[in-house]
Amino acid sequence: MNNKRQAYLAAPYGLWIIVCTIIPLLFILGYAVTNDAGKLTFDNLLAIADPVNLKCLMLSFKTSIITTVICLLLSYPVALILNSANIKNKSFVVFLFILPMWMNFMLRILAWQIILSNNGLLNSLLSALHIPTQHILYTEKAVILGMVYDFLPYMLLPIYNALSRINNDVIEAAKDLGANNLQVFTRVILPLTKSGVISGIIMVFVPALSSFVVSNVLGGGKVMLIGNVIEQEFTLARDWNTGSGLSIILMIFVLLAMGITQKQDNAGEGGTLI
């Protein structure tokens, strides 16, 4: 393959990145390293060390990690089942997983509010079955549930994509060579789907870390994530400098986390995503 020529295909995108990603980022960086008066300062970046901000950041990490793990645990079996099952129209079933996203996000989250509230549908159902009612809405549990709900397809699709590409012959060969089902899974299927899993993790973890709408609506204002802090700096506090500083710091954290994930992948086989 003529690599050089093929690489030119990315040229328009390179231009795009510079104009629509790098330059806007520079605007933000500009705000991040200056104060109201336009003087150079690092206070905005150091604002992350403020105990309140640090606490929100930790809570964000916690909820994002839990969300990612739950998404992974829920969607891997789904991908396996879909892949192995004798279903005529697999792509159709896969699309069924993205279809809910065609209802407006805000409406879906509001629907969860109706389901989970004190007198909501879930609790009505529970009390009809004589099971004690649950207080879920406006707690961390509700926020995690909302995020899992929102991000599940992002985890499922890449894993399923990776899984569907595995050649059946490889699995047959492993079995012929005496591997049992578990060994086939851990030695063949898992390594071959690693790149899918990693891109799934990134597609869930990263947006979860900076999200603030779910925590606003399902957290009832009681769950403050770093995304909420940044949003409030921009709006309520009218302090774009601190808001920008915090977003830059958040970005650095995410890049670090991704670097670690990527190393993990490089140590394995070549099929890296990032």
Residue (174 or 240) nearer to another protein, CB = 240
Q: What are phi and psi of 71, to 5 degrees?
A: -60, -45
Residue (63 or 244) nearer to another protein, CB = 244
Residue (138 or 174) nearer to another protein, CB = 138
CB of 33 to another protein, least distance (A): 15
CB of 106 to another protein, least distance (A): 5
* CA–CA separation, 124 and 130 (whole Å): 10
Residue (174 or 233) nearer to another protein, CB = 233
Residue (179 or 232) nearer to another protein, CB = 232
